Structure 1
Amino acid sequence: MNYRHAFHAGNHADVLKHVALLALCDALRAKPAACFALDTHAGRGLYSLDAVAAKRTGEAEGGVAKLRATGDTHIARYLAAIEACRAAHGPKAYPGSPWLLAHALREQDRIACCELQPDEASILNIEFRDDPRVVVHQRTDGYAAMKALLPPRSGQTRFARGLVLIDPPYEAQLEEFDLAIAALRDGLQRWPQGMFALWYPIKLRRSLPPFYRRAATMEAKSALVVELLVRPDDSPLRMNGSGLLILNAPYQFDRQFRHTLNALRNALQEPAGGNAHMEWLRAPA
């Protein structure tokens, strides 16, 4: 596997994924009971937009660098998290999902981060070595981590609430959806009350209906897709946008996040135009 997220940190896909991730964490925090978060493809957790890899692609210039305060609560939450990260790690730091989870969740919550690359996992371990809430697993298969770690436990505690973030590199292209769907089905059997969020890239949206149909058959209470395109989805050669499949989404998440999604489209779309799309594949009862 050759994928390194350092080349893509802070791009438009990260913005969507991380704004939504913090919103899901806030929904978990709304109840006092402890919760659990699993990041199956964690990366290193902390990036520098001034590093050679990030500067080579310049993708952050079309993502986080374009985002400004809009009056939207979720976007403000995201920008505040970035400022907190930069206060601790320097003016060009950018937080990955493990850092955001640790920032957003509470003392009683627990976080497991899984990463394939040994050097990335080592950086994760260093970042969280003094945080007893976070356990880092260097594993060859993030999907297998769901089998090993769900349903989640910590000592004698079983977690009734929580989130699984699945953010694979899609090096296998459309075949990755087969792996992800299978892992989601198994994860729901092991932890049916958990929230599951699967990130996916969008090049040609017309290639996605088979994925939507399969996602709609999941044994979940609900299935919601949230998508942001920054340019027309007419090129199979580049990522024109991305989406999140959210299973067991929080109550009224669609109403709360719709304004956010439109604000992100307005901020990040390119001159040719973008699109924001939200749809229930399976509406909550």
Structure 2
Amino acid sequence: MNYRHSFHAGNSADVVKHSLLISLVQTLQHKQGGLTLIDTHAGRGLYDLDGDEAKRTGEATRGVLQAFADPNPLLDDYRAAVQAVNRGGEPHLYPGSPQFLAQLLRPQDFLILNEKHPEDAYALRGVMRGSSAAVHERDAYELWLAMLPPRTARGVVVVDPPYEQPDERARITATLAAAHRKWAHGVTVIWFPLKDGATHWRWKEQLRKLGIPKLLRVEHWLYDSEQPGIYNGAGLFIVNPPYAFTQTLPPLLEALRATLAPEGHKGEIISDWLGD
């Protein structure tokens, strides 16, 4: 599956991913110690919702625009982060994960961004100019391991690939196993699309076999039954999520499900431990 950010910016997957990422980092920031935030597939950093690529799919109308139309206060932090890169009411620009993370930085925190595609890396540097972020242009999986353990005791690695390569899941699995050996207490967030249920089930079994004690899965299924051959939703694997984050997760997930459910469907968001 080819999932380039520019075509899907602000869709339902982004709303879920970025809402949970904000909540996760804010929870970790309850402690004063610094965090190192690492984004291995950072993309361009900012996307034009009125551009040709975003307009071709129109997915933002069923994602960020629905979130802006929903008054649920549990989505206030997400909406505020999107509004920060816009002027006026309805958003026309969508921030990528680098900008969501940059908005959350405290003076004691560090942000490391990586984007392998030269054109996207160039755009990312322009978007992040003036921030304290370090921008790299390297293989994502090589950088993931090279940056561990980070300079601070705690941190988060965000792995958000476009799934262009057939071995993407295998590379994630192998790199996660090596990363966990180097940094067993670190928090890792892995985003994934849901298109083929059988493929996803096989990958979950491979991840389960890694034996990582605290591996949370969150799956957002848009439709009431799997729709063969089309995009069905997306989710996150989260390694070592803090307890306070998992305790506040259910109401946020329910708010997201209700906000993003397509017409005629209730949708479903599943959250449980992969080892259960």
TM-score computed with the length of structure 2 as normaliser:
0.92
The answer to whether structure 1 residue 197 and structure 2 residue 198 are counterparts is: no
Q: Which moved more, 1:9-18 or 1:235-244?
A: 235-244
Residue pair 1:10, 1:59 contacting (<8 A) in 2 also: yes
The answer to whether structure 1 residue 235 and structure 2 residue 235 are counterparts is: no
C-alpha displacement at 1:57, in angstroms? 1.1
1:156 is matched with none
C-alpha displacement at 1:233, in angstroms? 4.8
- For residues 70-149 of structure 1, the aligned pairs below 5 Å read 70-73=71-74, 75-87=75-87, 91-132=91-132, 134-139=133-138, 141-149=139-147
- Where in structure 1 are there 5+ consecutive unaligned residues? 154-158
Deviations 1:189-226 (A, max 9, x none): 12212100101111233432222223234354411111
C-alpha displacement at 1:2, in angstroms? 7.4
Q: Within 2, Cα distance between the matches of 1:270 and 1:187? A: 37
Residue pair 1:185, 1:219 contacting (<8 A) in 2 also: no
TM-score computed with the length of structure 1 as normaliser:
0.89
C-alpha displacement at 1:6, in angstroms? 1.0
- For residues 216-235 of structure 1, the aligned pairs below 5 Å read 216-218=208-210, 220-235=212-227
C-alpha displacement at 1:51, in angstroms? 1.1
- Where in structure 2 are there 5+ consecutive unaligned residues? none
Percent of matched pairs sharing the same residue? 40
Aligned residues: 273
- Residue 2 to residue 226, structure 1, CA distance change in 2 (3 Å): closer
Of the two structures, which has the highest relative contact order with CA contacts closer than 8 Å and spacing of 6 or more? 2
Aligned partner of residue 77 in structure 1, secondary structure = helix
C-alpha displacement at 1:3, in angstroms? 5.5
The answer to whether structure 1 residue 266 and structure 2 residue 237 are counterparts is: no
| Residue 242 (structure 2) aligned to one of 241, 245, 250 | 250
- For residues 176-187 of structure 1, the aligned pairs below 5 Å read 176-187=168-179
- For residues 30-69 of structure 1, the aligned pairs below 5 Å read 30-67=30-67, 68-69=69-70
Output the amino acid matched with 1:119. Answer: E
Q: Within 1, Cα distance between the matches of 2:81 and 2:205? A: 35
Deviations 1:162-206 (A, max 9, x none): 100001111235x32211111111111122121001011112334
- For residues 20-35 of structure 1, the aligned pairs below 5 Å read 20-35=20-35
2:203 is matched with 211
Output the amino acid matched with 1:138. Answer: E
